[in-house]
Structure 1
Amino acid sequence: MPKKSFPSEATPVVVQEHIQMWGHAIRAQRMLLRLTAAQLASRIGVSVPTVARLEKGDPGVGVGSYLGALFALGLNSVATPVLNPDLWQTAANKRVRPTRAESGDELGYF
């Protein structure tokens, strides 16, 4: 069954702009490295039409395909977000499961 394509109106404008920037970067780097679309497609495990959609900035293409193409072409810095370390906690500081008292288990509900 083919994947459902989402209308471009469903994708926020900022996201569309970033996807199009990725597509232009993929095409420019592929041309600079003198790779054919078929060569890039075989490197990232997609079809040639999917590479064409990547280069056009189609939001219906999976993010894995975009990231695979960026990494295959050596454009790692384009795909790596800058994260604020203050927003992230280490796994040791973060409790994933609630304690027994928090879950209501002491009352015999679970």
Structure 2
Amino acid sequence: MKSVVPQPSPAVVLLAKQLGQRVRAARVRRKLRQEDLATKAGLSRTAIEAVEAGKLTTGLGTYLQALWAMGLTGGINVVADPGLDRDGLALELDAQTMRVHVGGAVDNDF
């Protein structure tokens, strides 16, 4: 029996491609060849190619190494920052204001 591998959503594929394009643009602006960035990041040239292609099978660490080597990790701290998650904060506040329904009479007879 073949195992079914779920396909990533088109939105995720697009985000990965856009990130790859941004990494490539940053590398080109710095006048670095893929080999130069790979050496600086401690990666292979094929790893840099995969990052720039936005391949979803490329590990997060590889993306982070490439960004670090170009001094572009500052913005990573805002990705999924709980303090900036408006929907999550709204849900949390909504859950805190919900009342608890007690199911019956409380027996305080000790």
State the TM-score, normalized to the length of structure 1: 0.61
- Pick from 24, 35, 43: which aligns with 1:46? 43
How many Å separate the matches in 2 of 1:11 and 1:79? 22
Matches of residues 23-102 of structure 1 in structure 2 within 5 Å? 23-80=20-77, 81-85=79-83
Q: CA deviation at 1:10?
A: 1.9
For the residue of structure 1 that corresponds to 2:68, the secondary structure is helix
Q: CA deviation at 1:65?
A: 0.5
Q: CA deviation at 1:78?
A: 4.6
Q: Which runs of structure 1 show a deviation greater than 4 angstroms over 4 or more consecutive aligned residues?
A: none
- The worse-fitting range, judged by mean Cα deviation, of 25-34 and 41-50 is 41-50
Between structure 1 and structure 2, the one with the greater Rg is 2
For the residue of structure 2 that corresponds to 1:29, the secondary structure is helix
For the residue of structure 2 that corresponds to 1:21, the secondary structure is helix
Matched, 1:19 2:16: yes
> What's the CA shift string for 1:53-78, capped at 9, x where partnerless?
11111111111101111122122245
AA aligned opposite 1:52? E
State the TM-score, normalized to the length of structure 2: 0.61
Identical aligned residues as a percent: 27
Give the number of equivalent residue pairs.
Answer: 81
Structure 1 residue ranges without an equivalent (≥5): 1-6, 89-110
Distance verdict in 2 for CA 1:69–1:62, change over 3 Å:
same
- Of structures 1 and 2, the one with the larger relative CO (CA 8 A, separation 6+) is 1
For the residue of structure 2 that corresponds to 1:34, the secondary structure is coil
Structure 2 residue ranges without an equivalent (≥5): 90-110
